[in-house]
Structure 1
Amino acid sequence: MQGPIMKPSPLRHAISLSLAWMLGATGIASVALAGQAPGPLNAPDVPISHRDRVYAAEQFSNTVSVTDPADNRLLGVIRLGDPAPGNLSPLYRGQLLVHGMGFSPDHRTLAIVSIGSNSVSFIDTATNAVKHVTYVGRSPHEAFYTPNGKEVWITVRGENYIAVLDAATFAETARIKVADGPGMQIFSPDGKYGYVCSSFNPETAVVSVADHKIVGRVKQESPFCPNIAATPDGKQVWFTLKDIGKTQVFEAQPPFRPIRTIETGPITNHVNFAHTAAGTLAYVTIGGLNQVKVFRTDDFSPVATIPVGSLPHGVWPSGDGSRIYVGLENADKLAVIDTATNQVVANVPVGQAPQAIAYVPNAVPDGDGTQGLQSPGLAGQSTQLKLLHLENGKPVVTDNAPTSVTLFDQGVLQVLQASATGLQPKHAYVLALASHADGTGSLEPLASFMTNPAGSAIVNAIGPIRQIVQDNATVEGRRYLVIAPSENGKPAAPVQVQAL
C-alpha cells in the first residue's frame, strides 16, 4: 500500500539559493548544499523535478523499476527477464537475478548487472531501451563508470578480477586482478582512485584509475563487504560489513589509513551520503533491524535511527540532498526519507526484492520518459509474513525486529526469502514447515542455513509455499513456517514461529 506522498519544497531551494547569493555578495564563503555521491562536493545542486528518475534493480522479478521522484510515482518497469521456473530453462535468453546498478556521468546510460546470467545490460535513460548487453565472468555483482566516463568497472565476485569495459563500445578491454570475490567498487570524486572491497577476503584494494595498478590495501574486519562509497569531499571511504554488522571508514588519500569502525547492526547492507544544511551525513541501511542509521562524517556521531520497513538494502540521495531513497528488499517498496527531518515521507511500490538503487538527476531531458515501460504484473505481487520468537511455547513480540519473510510471486511458484534475525551466531538452523501453529508436530525442512557472527542470515527457498502457509487457512493440512536449530543434521524444537 502506498504511503503519503510529499513533493519537494520549492521554498527550501529558494532559501538555499538566496542565502548562497547573499553570502557571496557580502564576501563571505557561500553555502554549498551540493555534491551528491558519487559526484564531487563542488557539483551544483539539481532540484528534484519530473526529469529525474529513481531506478531499482529487482532480483526476483528480473526487472528495473522506474520512479518519478517529483511525485514519488512508479512509472513502470523495464523487464529484463522472466520469472521462475521459466528462467531456469537451458534455452532461456533473458537476464537472471538482476542485482547491481551504476550510471554514466552524463546521466544517459544505466549499467545493470545480473548475477545469474553474468551480464551487464546498458539501458538508455531517455527511452528505457536496452542498447547493449555485455557478458563477463562468473557472478558479477556491481558496475560503475569512471568519473571521466571512459570506462565501466564491473566487480566479478565469482572470480578474482574487475572487468574493465570501454564505455563507448561496451567491450571488455582489461582485467584488474584483485583478491577473490571483489564485492563492489566506487571511485574518488576526482577520478584518481578506484576503491574495491571484497566479499570473500578481508581486504579492500585501492587501484589507480590511470594505470589499473593496486596502490593501497585496507584491512577489512570481516571478509564480507557488499557495498562501498566515497564522500563527496574526497576525504573518506565508507564500506559495510554485512556478516558482522559493522561499517568501516578509511582515508580516501594515501596512505589510506583506517579511521573508524562503527557498530551498525545485523545485515548492514549499503551506505551513501547526502550533503545537507546540517553537514555531510552518512545513511546506512541495517537489514536485520529494518532501520536506516544516520551518522555525521566529521565526528561519526549518530544523528538518527529511522524505521523504514522490511530489509532495507540499496540507498541513494537525490541530486540536491533533500531526499534519500531506500530499497526495501522484503517489502517491494522504496522508502523516501526527508533529510531535513530524517523521517519517511513516502513509500513507492516497486518490483520484487529491490537491491541496488540509483537516483539519476535529469535522466530524461525531453518527453515523458515512459517509452518502453511495462506495468509490473507479477513483479508487483508478493506476500509478507513475520516469524516471532518463542518463549515458554508462545510467540512473543520483542523490541528486536522480527524475522521477515516474503513470498515473491512467480505464478504457480513463489521465491521465499527470509531475513532471519535474533538467532545464535554461527549456528546451524533449518527453515521448515510445521504441522501446528505453535511449531509442534512434524517438521518438513525447506532450507538449511548457518547464521553469521551477528546471528542473522538471508535464507531462500522456492515452491508453492504461499498455498500451504496462507491460502489454505481453512484446509486440513495447512503448514506454518518455523525456524529450528539443526542438531546432528535434524531439526530440534523451533525457536521462531509464523505470526498469525
Structure 2
Amino acid sequence: MRTNLKILALLASTMIAPVAAFAGQAPGLASDPDIPISHKDRVYAAEQFSNTVSVSDPVDNKLLGVIKLGDPQPGNLSPLYKGQVLVHGMGFSPDHKTLAIVSIGSNSVTFIDTATNAVKHTTYVGRSPHEAFFTPDGKEVWVTVRGEDYISVIDAATFEEKTRIKVAPGPGMQIFSPDGKYGYICSSFNPDVAVVTVADHQIVGHVKQASPFCPNIAASADGKQVWFTLKDVGKTQVFNAEAPFDLIKTIDTGPITNHVNLVVNKNGSFAYVTVGGLNEVKVYRTDNFEQVATIPVGNLPHGIWPSGDGTRVYVGLENADQFAAIDTLTNKVIANIPIGQAPQAVAYVPNAVPEGDGMQNLVPLGGAGDAAHLKLAAKGDKDEKPSTSVTLFNQGLTQVLQAAVAGLDPKKPYVLALSEKRDGSGQLQGLAAFMTNPAGSAIVNAVGPIRQIVEAKHKDEKRYLVVATSADGKPGEIVQVQAE
C-alpha cells in the first residue's frame, strides 16, 4: 500500500510539472528538481572560426564530435550560398530537444535536434544577430539583431519570424525571468537594458548600464536578480528582476569581462564570471556579493554554463580551443576537453539524448583542433608575466590570428606588428591597428600565413609579434614583446 502511494505521489508531481526546465539552475526555476550528470547530457559550444558546434559528454568529459555548419577560410570568402559563417550564439528549448545557433556573418539562426544533431531548419534574420533564446513556455525564440535595433521574435513551431520588438540600436543578449513574465535585453551599443513583457512584447522598464557594451546577461533561478557583464569597462552589474528594476550592485571584475552564469549548489547561490583579460573565472556569492574564488582556466575564457545539478560549470576557452570543466564545490578545474576553434556561447543540456548514443550527424574535430598559441608580455618585464594571449587558428594555408590584448593604457591607439627581433628593434610590419577600451584591453584579429613566419626555422625568415603604440597609423614605442 505504501509503495502504491509513492507511485501515485510521483505521478501527481509529474502531472503538475511535465517538463523540468533546469534543475534549479538558470534559466529554470529554483523549485525544479536536480538532474544528476549522466551520459544522456550534452555540453555544446558555438565555435566562431571553425564554424562548428562541438558536442561533448560530461560524464567522461570527452568530445564526441562536431556539427559542421560551414567552412573555414578561405571557403567563406567567396559568395556564400550555403553554410554559416561566424558561428557564435546559442540557446536551447525548455524541453531540451532543440538548440538555436546564431551565426553572425550569415545572419542566421540554425535549429538543431539535440537527439540526432540534425539541422531542423535555418531562419535568416537581420544584420549581425548575436544571441537567441527560447521563452520559458517554449513558444517563441527571441533573437538580438545587434547590427540593427530590434529583437526578431521567431515562432518556435514554424521557425518563421512573427514580429519584431523595437529597442535601442545594438541589442546584445536577452534572457527571461524563470516564470516567463519578463525578457531582459542588454545593449552592446547603448547604456540601456530594456525590460519587456513576454506576453505582449511591451517595454515596461529600463536599467542604466555603466557602459554601452554588454555582451551577456543571466537571470537567477529564484526570480530575484539579473546579472549582466560589461566587456568594455570590465564590470558586472546586478539589478532587481522585479519592478522598479533598480540597480543593486556594480562589481569590478576585470578586463574583457565576457559572460556570467548563476549556479545553485549545496554551498549556496553563486555567480560565475569569465574574465578574458585575466584568463580567470571569478566567483561571487549572490547574497552579499563577496568574491569567494578566483579560478585560473586558460586563454580567454568566454561562454559559461552550469550542469543540471549545479555541481559543475563548463567554460569555453576562446584562445585555447578547449572546455574547462570546473567542480563548483571545490572551484577547481577537473578536466579540459579539446573542441573547435574560438568557442563563444556555451550550453549544458541535461537529457539531450534520451535514447541511443547521440552520435548521428557528428564529424571528427579534424583540422578544427589545429592551432598555435603565443604570449606577449610588457617589454622589460623580467618575469615575462603574460598580458596578451595570441592564438593562430589554422585555416589551411592561412591562419586567423586572434589576440586578447590586456595591460595597456585605456582608450589609446596601438598596433599589433611583426618585428625582425624579439625585443621589437628593427623594421616593423603592421598587422592590425586597434584602440583599447576603457579597461586597457582589446580583441584584435588578423589573417595571413602568420604561423609560418613566427615559427620559421631559418633565423633570417623568423619574425616576432609585438605591440607598439601608434601615431598617425604608424608603429611607435614597443610596449609588449613575444614571451614564448
Task: Work out whether residues 186 and 228 of structure 1, in 8 Å CA contact, stay in contact via their aligned partners in 2.
Answer: yes
Cα deviations across residues 336-385 of structure 1 (Å, max 9, x unaligned)? 00011000000000000000000000000000001010001111111111
Shift of 1:490: 1.3
**Alignment partners' CA distance in 2, 1:356 and 1:58:** 8
Counterpart AA for 1:464: P
Unaligned segments of structure 2, at least 5 residues: 1-21
Partners of 1:34 and 1:121 in 2: CA distance: 26
Q: Which residue number corresponds to residue 478 of structure 2? A: 494
- Superposed, 1:38-53 pairs within 5 Å as 38-53=27-42
Cα shift at 1:34: 4.4
- Once the two structures are superposed, residues 74-113 of structure 1 have per-residue CA deviations (whole angstroms, 9 ceiling, x without a partner) of 0000000001011010144210000000000000000000
Aligned to 2:428: 443
Q: Distance in 2 between matches of 1:208 and 1:290?
A: 36
Q: 1:397 aligned to 2:384?
A: yes
Amino acid at match of 1:289: L
Amino acid at match of 1:385: L
Q: Which residue matches 1:458?
A: 443
Structure 1: tracts of 5 or more residues without a match: 1-32
The separation in 2 between residues aligned to 1:343 and 1:250, in whole angstroms, is 28
Q: CA deviation at 1:396?
A: 4.0
Counterpart selection for 1:146 from 135, 145, 160: 135
- The residue number in structure 2 matching 1:66 is 55
Distance 2:239 2:23 in 1: 22
Instruction: Supply the distance in 2 between the matched residues of 1:110 and 1:88 (Cα, whole angstroms).
Output: 27
Change (3 A) 1:276 1:153: same
1:264 aligns with 2:253: yes
The separation in 1 between residues aligned to 2:88 and 2:473, in whole angstroms, is 33
Give identity over the alignment, percent: 72
- In structure 2, relative to structure 1, the CA distance for the partners of 1:147 and 1:173 (3 Å cut) is same
Q: What do the CA deviations read for 1:396-422 (whole angstroms, capped 9, x no partner)?
A: 423xx5200000000111000000000
Q: Which residue of the partner structure matches residue 417 of structure 2? A: 432
Q: 1:413 aligns with which of 392, 398, 405?
A: 398
Alignment deviations for residues 94-139 of structure 1 (CA, whole Å, 9 cap, x no partner): 1000000000000000000000000000000011011100000000
Structure 2 Cα separation of the partners of residues 301 and 445 of structure 1: 43
2:232 pairs with 1:232: no
Distance 2:464 2:38 in 1: 46
- Asked if 2 retains the 8 angstrom alpha-carbon contact of 1:390 and 1:396, the reply is no
**Cα deviation, residue 483, structure 1:** 0.3
- Which range moved further: 226-235 or 480-489? 480-489
Taking the aligned partners of 1:493 and 1:34, their CA distance within structure 2 comes to 53
Secondary structure at the aligned position of 2:410 is classed as coil
Deviation at 1:37, TM superposition (A): 1.0
Query: What CA distance in whole angstroms lies between the structure 1 residues aligned with 2:271 and 2:79?
Result: 43
Partner Cα separation in structure 2 for residue 80 and residue 163 of structure 1: 21
Query: Residue 334 in 1 paired to residue 323 in 2?
Result: yes
Match of 2:302 among 302, 313, 320: 313
1:276 is matched with 265
Aligned pair partner of 2:357 in 360, 363, 368: 368
Deviation at 1:475, TM superposition (A): 4.3
The 2-side partners of 1:116 and 1:61 are apart by: 13
Instruction: Indicate the residue corresponding to 2:466 in structure 1.
Output: 482
On the 8 A contact 1:389/1:395 being kept in 2, the answer is: no
Shift of 1:499: 1.7
| Aligned residue number for residue 6 of structure 1 | none
- Which whole-Å CA distance do the structure 1 matches of 2:248 and 2:188 have between them? 21
SS of the residue corresponding to residue 367 of structure 2 reads helix
Q: Does 1:188 align with 2:164?
A: no
Distance 1:282 1:288, change over 3 A: same
User: What is the one-letter code of the residue matched to 1:142?
Assistant: E
Which residue, out of 342, 346, 354, partners 2:335? 346
User: What SS does the corresponding residue of 2:53 show, helix, strand or coil?
Assistant: strand
Instruction: Give, in angstroms, the shift of residue 488 of structure 1.
Output: 2.6
Asked if the contact 1:388–1:395 (Cα under 8 Å) also holds between the matched residues in 2, the reply is: no
Whether the 8 Å CA contact 1:319–1:361 is kept in 2: the answer is: yes
Counterparts of 1:126-165 in structure 2, within 5 Å, are 126-165=115-154
Distance in 2 (CA, whole Å) between partners of 1:76 and 1:475 is 39
Equivalences, count: 463
Matched-pair contact (CA < 8 Å) for 2:133–2:142: yes
Counterpart check, 1:104 vs 2:93: yes
Contact 1:34/1:275 (8 A) holds in 2: no
Contact 2:384 2:483 survives alignment (8 Å)? no
Q: CA deviation at 1:306?
A: 0.4
Contact kept in structure 2, 1:327 and 1:354, CA below 8 Å: yes
Cα distance in 2 for partners of 1:34, 1:161 equals: 31
SS at match of 2:116: coil
How far apart in 2 are the matches of 1:229 and 1:311?
20
Task: State the Cα deviation string for residues 465-492 of structure 1 (Å, max 9, x = none).
Answer: 000011x132422111100000232111
Amino acid at match of 1:485: T
Amino acid at match of 1:499: A
Contact 1:395 1:497 in 2 (8 A): no
Whichever residue aligns with residue 223 of structure 1, its letter is P
Is contact 1:332–1:352 with CA below 8 Å preserved after alignment?
Answer: yes
The residue type paired with residue 238 of structure 2 is V
Matching residue of 2:366: 377
- How many angstroms apart in 1 are the aligned matches of 2:154 and 2:442? 34
**Is 1:294 aligned to residue 278 of structure 2?**
no
The answer as to 2:26 corresponding to 1:37 is: yes
Indicate if the aligned counterparts of 1:336 and 1:347 stay in contact, CA closer than 8 A.
Answer: yes
- Tell me, what secondary structure is at the counterpart of 1:367? coil
| Aligned equivalents of 1:131, 1:259: Cα separation in 2 | 41
Q: In structure 1, the residue corresponding to 2:368 is in which secondary structure?
A: helix
User: What TM-score comes out, normalization by structure 1 length?
Assistant: 0.92
Task: Indicate if the aligned counterparts of 1:216 and 1:255 stay in contact, CA closer than 8 A.
Answer: yes
